[in-house]
C-alpha cells in the first residue's frame, strides 16, 4: 500500500495493485459496515480483474488509467433511479477533462518583459493585463478597433463580450444583481431605443429605468437622487478575495473580468473573448528631503504613460514613457467632456511609440489591469516625517483595493471601493489604521 497524500479531503487508500478496486471497497464495507465514511476512495496503479457491468471485465494498462472506486450513501435517491449517479459522475469527469484539454497548453507564467527594470527611478510591480475583445476585433481581427468617425459605433462595440458576462451572471441572477457591462450604455433621450436594442436580454437589465443599474454602467445615472458624476458605487465586488486571491462578484464566484485562467481560453459564440498578458506596471519614485519615498503613476496631463511594443499581434515589451509624446488622448470631448485629456491606454500607442496599433481616434477602452504589490508598513504606520503612510487614488476607473497578510492575496479584505462608471473620484487608505 502506498502512502496517502495529505491534501486529499476524504479517506483515501492508494494501492500498487489489486484484483479490483470495486471488490476491495465492497469487502471493506462488508467488514466495517457503517464505520466506512462516505466518499472513502480506493485507487490503484493496476488491477488484475477489473469489473465492468453485467459480468464484463474492465481491462487497463498499468499506470496509464484512472482506477478508483468510492463509497456513496445516496439516501436522497430512490434505488430505481440510481443510474442518475452514473450520469452525474460521467458528465463531471468529462467536464473536468475538457477543461484540461483546453488549457493544458496555455503557459500562464509567460511574462511580457518590461523595458524599465534598469531605471533607478521606476519600480515595476507584478501586473496582469486583460484585453477584452470588441465586436470589431472579433470580426476583423485582434487590435482592430472601431474608428469610422461615428460616435455611436464607439458606444456599443462589446455586444459579444457583454453576452459572455451575461451568460455567467445568469447562473447567479438573484445574488449578482449588477454585473458590469462594456460600452457606453447611454440610454438618454433620442438614444434610448439604441440602448435598449443592445442591452435587451443581458442578465439583470430588466428595468431600463433602474437608476442604480444605470449608475453602474453610465455616469449619467449618478445624478439621480441628489448625486453627482464623481461619486462611486460600493458593493459591486465582494468584500473579500477568495482563498486563491481571486476577485469575487459574490462569495464563491470569481469576477469573470479578472479570471486569468478562464479568459486565456474563453470562447463565446465561437469567438475569442479576451487576451491575457502577465507583465509589470511602473511607478515613478521620488524621495524628499525628509527621506520619504513616494510611488506615483499619474496619467493626467500625460505625466506617466505605459504602452506595449509589438511583434505583429504579440506584445514583446511593456514600456514607460513620460510626457505628451507618449500620451494617449482620452477623447473625453466625444463623451460630454469640455476638452480631451490623457488616459491609460496600454493597447493604444501613438505613432511615436508604435505604428499601426491604435491612434488617438481609435481607442481600445475594453481592458482591465490587476496589480499585485508586496509592501511593508513602517513602525506605527508612520513615515520618516511622522506623517501616516497612505495609498491615494484619483481617477475615473473602477478601482478595488484589497489588503491581506498572504502574498498570494488569499482572503484579503476590501479596503477601498471606487466602483461604477463614474467620472473622476478620489479615495485614500490610511495605513496607520
Q: What is the pLDDT of residues 102-118, one digit of tens each?
A: 444 555 557 899 999 99
Rounded-to-integer distance, Cα 329 and Cα 216, Å: 24
Between 155 and 391, where is the model more confident? 391
Q: What pLDDT is attached to residue 329? A: 79
Mean pLDDT, residues 262-283: 93
Percentage of the chain lying above the pLDDT 90 cut: 31
Higher pLDDT, 256 or 60: 256
Q: Which three cell numbers, joined as nine digits, stand for 212?
A: 442604480
Cα 218 from chain centre:
21
Q: Please tell me the predicted confidence (pLDDT) of residue 102.
A: 46
Which phi and psi angles does 217 have, rounded to 5°? -115, 0
- Residue 56 — very low, low, confident or very high, per pLDDT cuts 50/70/90? confident
**What residues contact residue 12 under an 8 Å CB cut-off, 6+ apart?**
4, 5, 40, 41, 42, 43
Confidence tier at 337 by pLDDT (50, 70, 90)? low
Taking only the tens place, the pLDDT of each residue in 236-246 is: 999 999 999 99
Q: How confident is the model at residue 154 (pLDDT cuts 50, 70, 90)?
A: low
Q: Which of 7-11, 130-134, 262-266, 304-308 has the lowest mean pLDDT?
A: 7-11
Cβ-in-10-Å burial (0-12, 13-18, 19+) of 132 comes to: buried
In words, the CATH class of domain 12-103 is: alpha beta
pLDDT beyond 50 at 57: yes
For the chain, domain boundaries: 12-103, 122-152+232-430
- Burial class from Cβ neighbours inside 10 Å (0-12, 13-18, 19+) for residue 64 reads exposed
Comparing 153-167, 330-344, 370-384, the range with the smallest average pLDDT is 330-344
Q: What angle do CA 257, 349, 263 make, to 5 degrees?
A: 20
* C-alpha radius of gyration, the chain, whole number: 27
- Report whether pLDDT(357) > 60: no
Angstrom distance (rounded) from CA 225 to CA 413:
30
- Highest mean pLDDT pick, 56-70, 217-231, 393-407: 393-407
Per-residue pLDDT band at 147 (split at 50, 70, 90): low
Q: What pLDDT shows up at residue 318? A: 94
397 — pLDDT class (breaks 50, 70, 90): confident
Given this model, what pLDDT does residue 157 score? 81
Q: What mean pLDDT, rounded, does the chain reach? A: 82
Residue-level pLDDT at 106: 53
Q: What percent of the chain has pLDDT over 70?
A: 83
360 pLDDT tier (thresholds 50, 70, 90): very low
Q: Tens digit of pLDDT for each residue in 339-355?
A: 778 888 888 765 444 33
Average pLDDT estimate for 74-84:
82
pLDDT at residue 58 greater than cutoff 70 = yes
Q: Tell me the range of 74-88, 183-197, 291-305 where mean pLDDT is highest.
A: 291-305
Query: Sorting pLDDT into bands at 50, 70 and 90, what band is 9?
Result: confident
The yes-or-no verdict on residue 8 having pLDDT over 70 is yes
Mean predicted confidence (pLDDT) in 77-85 = 82
Q: What is the pLDDT of residue 123?
A: 95
d(CA 375, CA 21): 51
Higher per-residue confidence, 411 vs 184: 411
Q: Which residue shows C-alpha cell 505625466? A: 303
pLDDT at 414 over 50: yes
Q: Closest Cα to residue 408, out of 246, 259, 293?
A: 246
How far is the C-alpha of 119 from the C-alpha of 3, rounded, in Å?
51
| pLDDT tens-digit readout, 31-49 | 887 788 888 888 888 888 8
- Spatial separation of the C-alpha atoms in residues 130 and 371, rounded to whole Å: 12
Pick the closest to residue 232 from 42, 95, 369, 423 (CA basis).
423
Amino acid at each position: 500500500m502506498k502512502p496517502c497524500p495529505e491534501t486529499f479531503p476524504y479517506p483515501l487508500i492508494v494501492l500498487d495493485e489489486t484484483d479490483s478496486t470495486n471488490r476491495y471497497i465492497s469487502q471493506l464495507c462488508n467488514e466495517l459496515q457503517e464505520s466506512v465514511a462516505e466518499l472513502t476512495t480506493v485507487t490503484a496503479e493496476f488491477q488484475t480483474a477489473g469489473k465492468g457491468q453485467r459480468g464484463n471485465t474492465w481491462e487497463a494498462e498499468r499506470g496509464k488509467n484512472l482506477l478508483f472506486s468510492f463509497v456513496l450513501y445516496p439516501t436522497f435517491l430512490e434505488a430505481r433511479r440510481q443510474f442518475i449517479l452514473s450520469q452525474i459522475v460521467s458528465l463531471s469527469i468529462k467536464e473536468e477533462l475538457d477543461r484540461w484539454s483546453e488549457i493544458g497548453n496555455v503557459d500562464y507564467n509567460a511574462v511580457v518583459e518590461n523595458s524599465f527594470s534598469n531605471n533607478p527611478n521606476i519600480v515595476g510591480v507584478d501586473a496582469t493585463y486583460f484585453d477584452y475583445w470588441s465586436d470589431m476585433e472579433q470580426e476583423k481581427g485582434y487590435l482592430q478597433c472601431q474608428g469610422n468617425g461615428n460616435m455611436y459605433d464607439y458606444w456599443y462595440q462589446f455586444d459579444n463580450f457583454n453576452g459572455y458576462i451575461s451568460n455567467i451572471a445568469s447562473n447567479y441572477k438573484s445574488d449578482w444583481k449588477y454585473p458590469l457591462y462594456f460600452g457606453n450604455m447611454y440610454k438618454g433621450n433620442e438614444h434610448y431605443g439604441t440602448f435598449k436594442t443592445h442591452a435587451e436580454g443581458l442578465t439583470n437589465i430588466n428595468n431600463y429605468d433602474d437608476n442604480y443599474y444605470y449608475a453602474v454602467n453610465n455616469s449619467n445615472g449618478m445624478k439621480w437622487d441628489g448625486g453627482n458624476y464623481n461619486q462611486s458605487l460600493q458593493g459591486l465586488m465582494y468584500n473579500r478575495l477568495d482563498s486563491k486571491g481571486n476577485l469575487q462578484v459574490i462569495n464563491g464566484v470569481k469576477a469573470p473580468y479578472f479570471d486569468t485562467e478562464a479568459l486565456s481560453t474563453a470562447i463565446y459564440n465561437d469567438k475569442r473573448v479576451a487576451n491575457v498578458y502577465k507583465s509589470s506596471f511602473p511607478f515613478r519614485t521620488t524621495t524628499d528631503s525628509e527621506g520619504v519615498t513616494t510611488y506615483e503613476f499619474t496619467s493626467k496631463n500625460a505625466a506617466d504613460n505605459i504602452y506595449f511594443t509589438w511583434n505583429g499581434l504579440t506584445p514583446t515589451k511593456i514600456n514607460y514613457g513620460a510626457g505628451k509624446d507618449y500620451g494617449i488622448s482620452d477623447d473625453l470631448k466625444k463623451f460630454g467632456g469640455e476638452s480631451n485629456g490623457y488616459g491609460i491606454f496600454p493597447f493604444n500607442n501613438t505613432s511615436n511609440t508604435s505604428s499601426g496599433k491604435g491612434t488617438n481616434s481609435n481607442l481600445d477602452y475594453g481592458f482591465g489591469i490587476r496589480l499585485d504589490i508586496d509592501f511593508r508598513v513602517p513602525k506605527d504606520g508612520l513615515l520618516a516625517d511622522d506623517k501616516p503612510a497612505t495609498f491615494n487614488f484619483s481617477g475615473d476607473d473602477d478601482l478595488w483595493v484589497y489588503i491581506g497578510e498572504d502574498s498570494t492575496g488569499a482572503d484579503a479584505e476590501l479596503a477601498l471601493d471606487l466602483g461604477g462608471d463614474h467620472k473622476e473620484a478620489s479615495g485614500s487608505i490610511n495605513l496607520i489604521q
